Each structure stands twice: as C-alpha cells, then as structure tokens.
Amino acid sequence: MEQVLRVDEKGRVLLPGALRKKLGINRLVKARIEGNRIILEPVADPVELLMKAVIKGTEDIELEISELRRTAENQVKKLIEE
C-alpha cells in the first residue's frame, strides 16, 4: 500500500483511517529515520494497557469476593441447621 500524503505548515502528516486500522495504530507511534526514510511503528498506549490490567484485576477480585460470600453463606447455613 502506497499513498502520497500532505504535510501541513506545522509539519504534521495525517494518516488515513484505513492505513491506521490496517497497522493497528491508535494514539502513539514510534518514529525513526533509516537512511532517507521515516519509519513509523504502532506503540501500545501505556495508559490503555494499565486500564486493561486494572479492569482485569477488578474482575478477578469481584469473582473472588463472590466465591467467598458463597462459602460464608454455606457455613452460616450449616451453623443454623446444627
């Protein structure tokens, strides 16, 4: 895939949505120069990675709390029946 892109007066280049989607580019890219080329590579947003980890951790904790509640309820039922 090759496209000619315009550089604005501030030096910005707008990457078309189809190109960003194909390469998985979201909010961050790593840029480097190789010879006379500019290489852009997608970079995972550290804030998004942290949010995913926190959300996953929260889901795990909620599951554990639910299991602990069930166990406690079962033990209370046993005590009541005795």
Average pLDDT over the chain reads 83
User: pTM for the full model?
Assistant: 0.52
Tell me, what DSSP letter sits at residue 64?
Answer: H
Hey, what are 9's tokens?
Answer: 């007066």
Burial 31-54 (b: 16+ CB within 10 A, else e): eeeeeeeeeeeeeeeeeeeeeeee
Q: Which residue has the higher pLDDT, 49 or 25?
A: 25
The residue-averaged pLDDT of 66-74 equals 81
Banded model confidence at residue 19, pLDDT cuts 50, 70, 90: very high
